[in-house]
C-alpha cells in the first residue's frame, strides 16, 4: 500500500506540475491570507465514516479541527470526549442539536448520517448559523436537494457535499485530461463502482425509506460523478436496466444497475453500480490516446494511467484535503468547488435512472 500521511508540500508541488490547471486553482487558494483561528467542525452521526475516516483525518487538517460531536449514544459521546479532548459544552444529541447556534467553537457542521436524515440535519445546521458539509448521496431525491440549497442560501451559509475525489490528485488529473481534451475528444467512457455487500441484512442501507436506494445511491454516485467530471458536461438522458441475483437480501433496494448516459451532441457513456460486484474503475478512450483510473474511487490507494504510462501522483488523505479546502472557502466566503448544486446534478441523474427502470425506456434528465 503506497498510501502515506498527507504531505501538503508534496501535494502542492506535484499538483502544480502534474495535475495542471484544475489543481493549480487549489495551489493559488492555499496562499490566500488566513485568519488566525482554525475552524471548528462538529461531526453529526458517529458511525463508521466519522469514526474511521473523518475523525482521524481531522487530526491531519491544517485549517480546521474536530471541535464537537452530535450523537444519540451517551457511551459514544463519553469515548469520543476522552479520545479527542472534546469539552462537554461541545457535545450534543439530536434533541439539543439546534443549541449549537450559541456555540462559537463550532463553525462547520458535517452531516454524516443515513441519507433520509441529510435534509433535516443540513437545514437545522444552516438555520443554527453554521456552514454545512453534507455526505453523499446528498439526499433521497433531487427535490430534497433543492430544499437544502434554498435553506442554506436563505440562511446565508455555505453548503458543500462530501465529494472527496475532487481533491484527489488522480481524479483531478482525469478531469484535466478529459476537460482540456489533452488526448483529443473523448470517444468512449466506461466506469463502474461497487462492492459485495455482506453486512447486516437489517441495516439502513438496505431500506428504501432510509437510503433512497441501494448500490446506485451509495456507489453509483461515483460513476455518475466520474462521467460528468471527466467530460465537464451535463448529461441529458439515460437508459438503465437492473439485475438482482440476491432478491431476498436486496428486497427494497437495487443490487446492480447498468446504464447508458447521453450527453449533448449524442455522445453516450456507459456506467454501472453494484452491491454485488467489486468494481472501482474509469476507462476513457480519446482520439489520440487513453487514460483511466483503477482503483478509482475508494479512500485507500488510487492509481491511474495514460497512454504515456502510469500516473505518478501522490496519495493523499482525501477527507483532510477536502475539509481544509472547505475551511478556506469559509474564510474567503467563496462557494466550494463541490457545492450543493453538484449534489443536486447527480441526484437528477439518479432520479432519471429510477424512472428508466420503471418505464423500461430512455428518460430525460430534468
Q: List, by residue number, the catalytic residues.
A: 136, 222
In which residue are the cell numbers 462537554 written? Answer: 88
CB of 9 vs ligand NAD, minimal distance in Å: 25
Nearer to ligand NAD, 164 or 277 (CB): 164
DSSP-assigned states of every residue in 246-294:
-TTTSSSS-SEEEEEEE-TTS-EEEEEEESSS-EEEEEEEETTEEEEES
**Smallest distance from the beta carbon of 318 to ligand NAD, in angstroms?**
7
Please give the Cα distance from 290 to 307 (Å, whole number): 5
| Cα-trace Rg, the chain | 20
261 phi, psi to nearest 5 deg: -115, 125
Min. distance of Cβ 140 from ligand NAD in angstroms?
11
Of 72, 70, 36, 66, the residue nearest 54 (C-alpha):
66
* Least spacing, CB of residue 247 vs ligand NAD, in Å: 23
Q: Residues in the site for ligand NAD, rule: CB under 6 A?
A: 45-50, 72, 112-115, 135-136, 162, 164, 204, 218, 299
Q: Between 168 and 351, whose beta carbon lies closer to ligand NAD?
A: 168
The cell for 155 is 440562511
CA 146, 148, 154, 156 dihedral sign is: negative
Our CB check for ligand NAD shows the closer of 64 and 237 to be 64
Residue 41 has phi, psi (to 5 degrees) of -110, 135
Cα distances (angstroms) measured from residue 2 to each of 6, 41, 71: 12, 29, 34
Nearer to ligand NAD, 164 or 239 (CB): 164
Q: How many CB atoms lie within 10 A of CB 319?
A: 23
Closest CB to ligand NAD among residues 59, 359: 59
Peptide bond into 188 cis (omega under 30): no
3-state helix, strand and coil shares in percent for the chain, rounded to the nearest 5: 40, 20, 35
Residue with the shortest CB distance to ligand NAD: 47
Beta-bridge partner residues of 272: 192, 258
CB of 156 to ligand NAD, least distance (A): 25
Q: CB 204 → ligand NAD: shortest distance, Å? A: 5
Q: How many CB atoms neighbour CB 129 within 10 A?
A: 16
Nearer to ligand NAD, 94 or 331 (CB): 94
C-alpha 305/C-alpha 283 separation (Å) is 9
Cβ 275 vs Cβ 195: under 8 Å: yes
Amino acid at each position: 500500500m503506497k498510501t502515506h500521511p498527507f504531505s501538503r508540500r508534496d501535494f502542492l508541488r506535484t499538483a502544480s506540475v502534474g495535475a495542471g490547471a484544475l489543481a493549480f486553482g487549489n495551489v493559488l487558494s492555499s496562499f490566500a491570507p488566513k485568519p488566525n483561528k482554525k475552524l471548528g467542525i462538529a461531526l453529526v452521526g458517529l458511525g463508521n465514516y466519522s469514526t474511521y475516516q473523518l475523525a482521524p483525518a481531522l487530526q491531519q487538517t491544517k485549517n480546521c479541527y474536530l471541535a464537537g460531536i452530535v450523537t444519540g449514544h451517551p457511551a459514544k459521546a463519553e469515548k469520543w470526549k476522552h479520545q479527542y479532548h472534546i469539552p462537554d459544552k461541545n457535545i450534543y444529541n439530536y434533541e439539543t442539536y439546534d443549541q449549537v447556534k450559541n456555540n462559537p467553537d463550532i463553525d462547520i457542521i458535517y452531516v454524516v448520517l443515513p441519507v433520509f436524515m441529510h435534509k433535516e440535519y443540513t437545514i437545522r445546521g444552516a438555520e443554527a448559523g453554521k456552514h454545512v458539509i453534507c455526505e453523499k448521496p446528498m439526499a433521497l431525491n433531487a427535490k430534497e436537494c433543492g430544499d437544502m440549497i434554498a435553506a442554506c442560501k436563505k440562511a446565508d451559509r455555505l453548503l458543500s457535499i462530501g465529494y472527496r475525489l475532487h481533491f484527489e490528485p488522480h481524479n483531478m488529473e482525469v478531469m484535466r485530461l478529459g476537460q482540456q481534451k489533452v488526448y483529443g475528444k473523448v470517444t468512449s467512457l466506461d466506469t463502474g463502482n461497487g462492492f459485495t455487500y455482506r453486512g447486516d441484512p437489517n441495516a439502513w442501507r438496505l431500506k428504501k425509506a432510509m437510503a433512497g436506494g441501494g448500490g446506485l445511491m451509495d456507489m453509483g454516485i461515483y460513476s455518475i460523478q466520474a462521467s460528468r467530471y471527466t467530460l465537464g458536461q451535463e448529461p441529458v438522458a439515460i437508459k438503465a436496466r437492473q439485475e438482482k441475483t440476491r432478491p431476498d437480501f436486496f428486497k427494497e433496494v437495487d443490487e446492480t444497475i447498468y446504464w447508458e448516459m447521453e450527453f449533448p451532441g449524442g455522445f453516450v457513456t456507459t456506467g454501472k453500480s453494484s452491491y454485488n460486484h467489486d468494481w472501482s474503475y474509469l476507462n476513457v478512450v480519446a482520439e489520440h490516446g487513453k487514460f483511466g483510473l483503477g482503483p478509482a474511487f475508494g479512500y485507500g490507494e488510487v492509481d491511474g494511467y495514460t497512454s504515456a504510462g502510469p500516473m505518478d501522483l501522490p496519495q493523499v488523505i482525501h477527507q483532510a484535503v477536502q475539509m481544509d479546502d472547505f475551511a478556506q472557502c469559509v474564510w474567503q466566503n467563496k462557494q466550494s468547488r463541490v457545492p450543493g448544486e453538484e449534489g443536486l446534478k447527480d441526484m437528477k441523474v439518479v432520479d432519471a435512472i429510477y424512472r428508466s427502470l420503471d418505464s423500461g425506456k430512455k428518460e430525460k434528465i430534468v
